[in-house]
A and B are shown apart, each in its own frame.
Chain A
Amino acid sequence: DTEVTQTPKHLVMGMTNKKSLKCEQHMGHRAMYWYKQKAKKPPELMFVYSYEKLSINESVPSRFSPECPNSSLLNLHLHALQPEDSALYLCASSQEPIRGLSGNTIYFGEGSWLTVV
């Protein structure tokens, strides 16, 4: 099973709302990622968790707050977002990351379409 599951698939939220995106994988992967993708653009890395610890934050605004409760789950908490934050948010996972080596396939979920009104 090479599946990364994301919920919800679609989310509309106001600028004062608090919501969360959820991601789950059962492949035993120890690296999990959040990417943001705007229309007709490539995915942009937001956060990386390695062994449930935040290892990379690509200078993402604090209104996005990631959380990794355990090795299978990854959340993205959203608060006071702006309309320009509307995008497809992709979760991904891969086998344990090793600095200086690469070659692990990154598996993506179907994404959560977020609209901020």
Chain B
Amino acid sequence: QQPVQSPQAVILREGEDAVINCSSSKALYSVHWYRQKHGEAPVFLMILLKGGEQKGHEKISASFNEKKQQSSLYLTASQLSYSGTYFCGTAPVNFGNEKLTFGTGTRLTIIP
């Protein structure tokens, strides 16, 4: 089944923070996060492997709780360039990233 993301859409003013959640009904080995702008290819943000790690990438960070089969993406002090649709991609325990399944997506709009 497809991972479920929440919220489906969010509008923020520049400088505000956002949290995007990804929840799976299956056991996970890893979670991948991508951002896709309209008409463009998905762009890789980060991968989190099982172990409950948290990773950071400038003002974008993420956490992964494999026991709860959940991941969250944190965007702090959002910039206009953060606008786009964010997808989590999950890889089940018994496969590598060959079997990456994308979540339902969260559309983020940053306004000045």
Interface-located stretch among A12-20, A70-78, A79-87, A98-106 = A98-106
CA distance A42 to B109 in the complex (A): 17
**Interface residue from A45, A90, A103, A111 paired with B47 (Cβ < 8 Å):** A103
> Does A107 count as interface, using CB distance less than 8 angstroms?
yes
CA distance A56 to B91 in the complex (A): 14
| Binary contact readout B19-34 vs A (1 if CB under 8 angstroms, 0 otherwise) | 0000000000110101
Q: Is the CB of A106 within 8 A of B94?
A: no
A99 nearest in chain B by CB position: B96
Residues of B within 8 A of A110 (CB): 40-41
Q: Assuming A42-B104, A43-B42, A109-B41, is B97 touching A99 (CB within 8 A)? A: no
> Does A34 count as interface, using CB distance less than 8 angstroms?
no
Q: Is the CB of A102 within 8 A of B105?
A: no
A-side interface mostly: loop
Q: Is the CB of A99 within 8 A of B95?
A: yes
Q: Is the CB of A103 within 8 A of B49?
A: yes
> Does A21 count as interface, using CB distance less than 8 angstroms?
no
What's the nearest-Cβ distance from chain B to residue A117, in Å? 21
Number of B residues near A (Cβ < 8 Å) is 27
Max chain B CB contacts within 10 Å: which of A42, A99, A101, A106? A42
CA distance A45 to B30 in the complex (A): 17
CA distance A94 to B85 in the complex (A): 22
| Binary contact readout B34-67 vs A (1 if CB under 8 angstroms, 0 otherwise) | 1000001111100101000000000000000000
- Top 9 A-B residue pairs of the complex, sorted by shortest distance between their CB atoms: A42-B102, A108-B41, A102-B97, A102-B30, A102-B91, A102-B96, A97-B96, A97-B98, A48-B98
Tell me the B residues contacting A by CB distance below 8 Å.
2, 29-30, 32, 34, 40-44, 47, 49, 87, 89, 91, 94-105
16 contacts between A and B (CB under 8 A): A43-B102, A45-B100, A45-B101, A48-B98, A48-B99, A97-B98, A101-B29, A102-B29, A102-B30, A102-B47, A103-B49, A103-B97, A106-B97, A106-B100, A108-B34, A111-B41
